[in-house]
Chains A and B, each alone.
Chain A
Amino acid sequence: MNDTLGIEYTFSCDARGRLIAEDSRRNRHVGLSAMRLFPMSDPDNWIAVFDEKGHELCCIPSVAKLSTASASAIRTTLTNSEFIPVIERIVHISSNDPPCRWTVETDRGQTEFIINDEKDLRRLSQWSVLVVDARGIRYSIPDTRKLNVYSRRAVEWHV
């Protein structure tokens, strides 16, 4: 895979699940982290890889063009480093106006959080919404149409 500087990298994961890269000059880079540069508008492309000190090692324009092994290593790293639960059902919202306590069922189980401000609910596209709670944890609702009636109304009210 070509980086902007023309160095090729192959990625893999070590035993502890940490991302490792090896460049075309056989240099090994360990303890890497990966980040999506366009997490909302283009989540599958433009992945930046950082070294242990947080310096950018390279930028991957398209994961799909990597070798299968490299791509899966990058994807695993991304999945492991990201925590954006998907809200599947809204059980209860304490009040119609922020600040309010939301009780929701996510793909990672039921949880409660506080919404401080209206702007913490952000419409990404016509049907998808990103929720940022008071602690800064992000939750996503990829398609409001798939929610039940109560949840959908609650989200529409707050967005």
Chain B
Amino acid sequence: MNSSNSTSGDSNVLDSSSTYDMLASIPTFWQTSIRSAIGSEERVLAFIELDLDAERKFAQTLLALTNDRLIQCDVAANGAASPPKYWELSPDLELHASVLSGLGKLELLQGEEVKFQWPFTSACESSADRFAAAYSAIVRNRALSATTNSVVARCASCGAVLQEDQPTCPSCTPVAAPSPSASLMRLMPFAKRRASTITLGILLTIASTAAAMVPTYLTIPLIDNVLEPWQKALQVNEKVRYEMIYVYIAGLAGAAVLAWALGWARTYVLALASEQVSCDIRNETYSHLQKLSLEYYGGRRTGDLISRISSDTDRICNFLSAHMVDFISDVMMFVFTAIILIRIDPILALAALLPFPFNAWLIQKVRTNLRHGFARATNAWGDMVSVLTDAIPGVRVVKAFAQEEREIARFAHANKVVYDNNVRVNRLWSFFGPTVSFLNEIGVLVIWAFGAWRVATGDITVGVLIGFVSYISRFYVRLDSMSGFLANTQRAAASTHRIYEILDRQPVVMEPTHPVAVGKLNGEVTLTGVRFKYGSREVLRGIDMRIEPGELVGVVGPSGSGKSTLVNLVCRFYDPTQGKITAGGIDIRSFAVEQYRRNIGIVLQEPYLFFGTIAENITYGRPDASRAEIIEAARAAHAHNFIVKLPDGYDSIVGERGQTLSGGERQRISIARALLTDPSILILDEATSAVDNETERVIQNALDNLIRGRTTIAIAHRLSTLRNANRIFVLDAGRVVEVGRHEELLERGGVYSRLYHAQLETKANASPQPAPESFQPVRVVKLD
């Protein structure tokens, strides 16, 4: 038996025998117990960390699979390792993983009998699935077979590829937000780029804060050396020299001008620096976001991503330019004030500064309550808005079911919550402002009282007292804004964290290190044993198809059969979990992603037009296209005829805020866009599903021009559109169940013919007579 004192020498021996061993990958936490549990000849082939114990309480359990045994290590409640449990591997024992509503279990089965059971939460789902697969493979071969070894595990929630030693995906594992200071420190690389501006800004801050302290300092000698003697002299009718007054007045004026100029420079320089930093962050985040694989966008709301780039960077910018600068200058002012006061009169300084910590604590306390109140009010506001966004777009349904009163009541209720919350927060808020001034007054009062006594005893002059009062009152005014700093820091740190969530993310579709030059593909596409797993759900279960250059291939099947996934794999939006896709005989994973995608044209069910002119939209994939080519493509896509009817022709603005076009018109523009890039492989993803029969025919004509001479993979709901397809692949539950031409498949009377007849019936019911052919004859220009 290996004991806990086993050294790296053991693993070296194992490595040199070039057999698979995962012992070193097991987290350090388990190393002692696992090393003591396994025999010297045993190799760890797979392991899993489970997060529940047998009673379904949160506890750490390690299951390790060696070439001989299944080993369980766990930690008892007192933290001491309990003795490991063993199960010898045998062909009649099966390991089965399942998950039901958040709770999963690994079961060791012997026939129908459950020998043992390990519960876990869905956090372990995908690794449990993999572990069970590894178990069956090992039992079969008593060694991890090469194929199982190469199965790439994917994160259940985002689809990211998991490393062998990674039980869960790092991006999806819920992590507590790091401490604000740790988050903000991550801004350092951005700050470093603008180091000179920032340094200048900080120097200016120090200078301007110091300059602002000078006038108050000058008032002390002004009173003591000039005003006081004057007053005394007046009383005894004595003449005094008054030249000094000019010096002090000039000094005050000079200090004021200096503070003004420095304050101006400081504000400008720091605002500039923070604007530069946030501009850098925005650019970096957006370009990183654009490079992330499509998978990332799937799981996220668009609004959230947009707000990360717009509001979060803005918040950071505000924090850096306003809150942090104010805070730094306040702290400096505090330090300077304290130094000056202590130098003038340490005892009075003590009295003046003593109430400060108490005041600061009180203000902080009230502010925290206030912040919670505001947060509640904001949430209530959001709820009210969501009632609106829910009911107003759905107003037809509301009216149809005569539920206006109910909607009014729903809104009134949400509005009442807003009212209550606002009233509550206003009560606190109205208390807050006067309280702060009251505390300031008290602070100043302490100095007046204590200072008056000191003046009476002759320890300080009136000038010193006045100087103290004016320093301290200026100081307390800033206390309020200082107390807000904590909240602002937390908010800015949260924003930084959200931005780094994007920046830390790696694209799932990896660029090869030594990409093969793509050039122009001939259009041949072959899928060999392609499987795709989305989390633990297997969407494609071994697809084999060979598509010849120029062939039109239809892909049909019920929803959820894996049609779209297939297309996503061919476009390389994802990589297959197993198997490979080749284009022109080369694995598409060895091409540079961007170059490969240049060979692909895609027409989606919902065409997306960008805000811009029609010409710009058509040339989106090839901005260098000439006007002649644009018109040619538009003609071929049967878009020219409606474009010339628009007042601005090809310069008409379309997209979100532009000219409204019908679905069919938008689709034809997107076909023109695909035509212009002249792709070798064309993908039609339900290109005609969203339009009526009439428009479908026009689009179909346009598509015929597009398809000519290209390898085309067409996903279609309306099977009639696939009559011309060379072959039709019928998918069901991730497998190809039928292949053949339209007529062949109809004759066979399988899945395809059932789907086809079902559609004919619906169509016949919907429109008994085919629509007359009333669209204009269109001129077809050959593009190739």
Contacts and interface: CB of A to CB of B under 8 A. Distances in A.
A135 B628 CA distance: 33
A61 B628 contact: yes
Contacts of B651: 38-41
A119 interface: yes
Contacts of B648: 39-40
B650 A37 contact: yes
Interface size grouping (class) on chain B: 20 to 34
B668 to A, nearest CB: 16
Contacts of B650: 37-38, 41, 46
Interface string B630-649: 01000100001101110111
Contacts of B627: 37-38, 42, 45-46, 61
B649 A35 contact: yes
B649 A4 contact: no
Contacts of A39: 648-649, 651
B631 A46 contact: yes
B615 interface: yes
Interface in B650-671: 650-651, 653, 657
Counting chain B CB atoms within 10 Å of each CB, the highest count among A37, A39, A45, A55 belongs to A37
A38 B627 CA distance: 9
Interface residues of A, number: 23
B638 to A, nearest CB: 13
Interface in A57-77: 59, 61
A132 to B, nearest CB: 9
Nearest to B635: A4
A146 B628 CA distance: 34
A138 B651 CA distance: 14
Contacts of B645: 54
B776 interface: yes
Interface in A68-96: none
Interface string B327-369: 0000000000000000000000000000000000000000000
Contacts of B635: 4
B644 A56 contact: yes
Contacts of A46: 627, 631, 650
Contacts of B647: 136, 138
Nearest to A118: B657
A136 B776 CA distance: 27
Interface in A130-152: 136, 138
Nearest to A50: B644
Contacts, number: 49
A108 interface: no
Nearest to A45: B627
Contacts of A18: none
Interface in A90-133: 119, 122
A57 B209 CA distance: 77
A6 B567 CA distance: 41
A15 interface: no
A54 B779 CA distance: 14
B249 interface: no
Counting chain A CB atoms within 10 Å of each CB, the highest count among B613, B640, B650 belongs to B650
Interface string A12-46: 00000000000000000000000111111110011
Nearest to B657: A119
Given A45-B627, A46-B631, A61-B628, A38 B615 contact: yes
Contact of A37 (B641, B644, B653): B644
Nearest to B634: A37
A125 to B, nearest CB: 12
B172 interface: no
B477 interface: no
B781 interface: yes
A98 B255 CA distance: 48
B653 A56 contact: no
A13 B643 CA distance: 26
A122 B635 CA distance: 27
A38 B649 contact: yes
Contacts of B657: 119
Nearest to A124: B651
Contacts of A40: 613, 648, 651
Contacts of A55: 776
B110 to A, nearest CB: 71
Given A35-B644, A46-B627, A61-B628, A41 B653 contact: no
Nearest to A43: B651
A46 B650 CA distance: 10
A155 interface: no
Interface in B571-621: 613, 615
A78 B613 CA distance: 22
A47 to B, nearest CB: 10
A122 B611 CA distance: 12
Interface string B753-784: 00000000000000000000000100101000
B628 to A, nearest CB: 6
B781 A37 contact: no
Contacts of B615: 38, 41
Given A38-B615, A39-B649, A61-B628, A56 B781 contact: no
Given A39-B648, A41-B651, A59 B631 contact: yes
A40 B616 CA distance: 13
B613 A4 contact: no
Contacts of B628: 61
A6 B647 CA distance: 27
Counting chain A CB atoms within 10 Å of each CB, the highest count among B627, B635, B645, B776 belongs to B627
A141 to B, nearest CB: 16
B613 A37 contact: no
A39 B613 CA distance: 11
A44 to B, nearest CB: 12
Nearest to A117: B657
A46 B634 CA distance: 14
Contacts of A36: 649
A119 B655 CA distance: 12
B776 A37 contact: no
A41 B616 CA distance: 11
B296 to A, nearest CB: 31
6 contacts: A37-B631, A40-B648, A40-B651, A56-B644, A59-B631, A61-B628
Given A41-B613, A48-B649, 13 more contacts: A4-B635, A37-B627, A37-B644, A37-B650, A38-B615, A38-B627, A38-B649, A38-B650, A39-B651, A40-B613, A40-B651, A48-B644, A119-B657
**A-B pairs with the 10 shortest C-beta distances?**
A40-B651, A37-B649, A37-B650, A38-B650, A48-B644, A119-B657, A38-B651, A39-B651, A39-B648, A41-B651
